[in-house]
Amino acid sequence: MGSKIIAISIVTLVLFQSTIIAPVANLILEKEQTALFLRLLWPIFFVLIIILSAICLILFRRQKVVFKKNILSTGAMAVCIAVVPCINNAMDSGNLSLWKVLHLCTVALTIFTLVLQVQIIRHNT
């Protein structure tokens, strides 16, 4: 039951950040403000998911399915954190093709994490 609560928290965080926070920031803030805001927010988002996944790893290490999926979630978000400076540098240098590839990687890894967490919720139902 506890792993389900953490998984629901991660799913909620991903959906809220991706469907509400980022789009609204793009709508209401000026371009420079949006860039600064999102550059601050996305690493925090990735770290929060790493923390929640790590908590799940520690508390539910005997539940093999939950454990394996949270190892993957933690790894995926760690890659996202590692890529953030490269994404920022690509944008700052005007290398939009590299920015698109790296951004797509973080989006894919975030979706992957979302799917893993939904599977944990369904597994515990």
Domain boundaries, the chain: 2-123
**pLDDT, tens digit, for every residue of 20-67?**
999 999 999 998 999 999 999 999 999 999 999 999 999 988 999 899
State mean pLDDT over 7-26.
94
What does the pLDDT read at residue 3? Answer: 85
Is residue 6 predicted with pLDDT exceeding 70?
yes
What does the pLDDT read at residue 124? Answer: 67
**pLDDT, tens digit, for every residue of 64-111?**
989 999 999 999 999 999 999 999 999 999 999 999 999 999 999 999
What does the pLDDT read at residue 123? Answer: 85
Is residue 2 predicted with pLDDT exceeding 90?
no
Q: Which residues contact 49 (CB under 8 A, 6 or more apart)?
A: 10, 13, 14, 73, 77, 113
What is the pTM assigned to this prediction? 0.91
- Of the candidates 112, 106, 111, the residue with the CA atom closest to the CA atom of residue 43: 106
